[in-house]
């Protein structure tokens, strides 16, 4: 049985200080926002519901009025809230236009990545939350993720796991779920390794090998500029000035 959490609000203040690196030098929010009602996919609870430790929320309340308790609005979001452990809660922010970077949650800072654990419970790299691959541009371009982000992500979660072993178990279980899902889909799991390198997991065996760019196919509608433009038009969005190119 995992030990109980010893996390305190002050621990999150320290974690925040050590996790400030942007995911890349590219403004990925400008790429996905036209497909999501003008909001980046990670900044709207219509797409992703942030989950925090209650003590993390206690800290945020002393620093900002950006965050409030999330109120479920349909069956899916009620299910998310109902399945949370007693020490966690779902939260809602005012939106990307009001973002305070120093007051982002750990979940926000790390999106769209999660700590990937092997069957042997080794933290080998960063996986992506696959349910967002059709809306998150970054997930189709993870080779541009900055190494500083990877290093800070790993250090943050390793520190979190020491304080909260149940958090570690959560990602051991989630990684096992990923292997089951991708094995059923007959797809490889793509990761960023601890040095920022590309890795590929065979979900049926758990074996990991070095990856190449061709092992990381883009998800629709990010496969081409033409397809992206068509998706933006269908969504009623406005094309960013630079399309799919770096800004």
Query: Among 208, 199, 117, 106, which Cα is nearest to 152's?
Result: 106
| pTM of the complete model | 0.92
Q: Can you tell me the distance from the alpha carbon of 95 to that of 98, in angstroms, rounded to the nearest whole number?
A: 6
Give the burial string for 60-89 (b: 16+ CB within 10 Å, else e): beeeeebbeebeeeeeebeeebeeeeeebb
DSSP string, 218-230: PPTTTT-HHHHHH
What pLDDT, in 10s, does the model give residues 17-27? 999 999 998 88
In this prediction, residue 240 carries a pLDDT of: 83
Strands 113-117 and 88-93: unpaired
- Give the rounded percent of residues in the chain with a pLDDT score beyond 90: 83
Q: Which two tokens stand for residue 158?
A: 């390793």
Using CA atoms, how far residue 81 sits from 5, 45, 90, 91, in Å, is 20, 12, 6, 10
- Is 243:23 a contact under the CB 8 Å cutoff? no
pLDDT tens, residue by residue, 73-92:
999 899 999 999 888 999 99
């Amino acid at each position: 049985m995992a030990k109980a959490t010893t996390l305190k609000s002050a621990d999150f203040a320290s974690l925040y200080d050590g996790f400030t690196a942007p995911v890349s030098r590219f403004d990925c929010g400008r790429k996905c926002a036209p497909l999501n009602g003008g909001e980046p996919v990670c900044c709207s609870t219509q797409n992703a519901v942030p989950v925090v430790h209650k003590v993390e929320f206690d800290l945020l309340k002393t620093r900002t009025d950006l965050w409030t308790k999330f109120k479920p609005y349909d069956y899916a979001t009620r299910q998310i809230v109902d399945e949370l452990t007693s020490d966690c809660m779902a939260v809602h922010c005012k939106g990307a236009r009001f973002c305070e970077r120093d007051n982002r949650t750990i979940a926000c800072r790390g999106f769209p990545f999660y700590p990937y654990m092997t069957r042997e419970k080794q933290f080998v790299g960063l996986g992506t939350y696959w349910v967002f691959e059709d809306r998150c541009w970054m997930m189709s371009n993870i080779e541009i993720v900055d190494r500083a982000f990877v290093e800070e992500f790993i250090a943050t979660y390793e520190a979190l796991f020491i304080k909260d072993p149940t958090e570690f178990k959560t990602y051991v279980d989630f990684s096992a779920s990923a292997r089951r899902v991708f094995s059923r889909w007959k797809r490889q799991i793509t990761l960023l390794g601890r040095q920022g390198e590309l890795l590929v997991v065979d979900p049926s065996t758990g074996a990991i090998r070095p990856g190449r760019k061709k092992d990381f196919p883009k998800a629709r509608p990010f496969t081409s500029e033409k397809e992206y433009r068509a998706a933006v038009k269908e969504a009623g969005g406005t094309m960013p000035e630079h399309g799919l190119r770096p800004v």
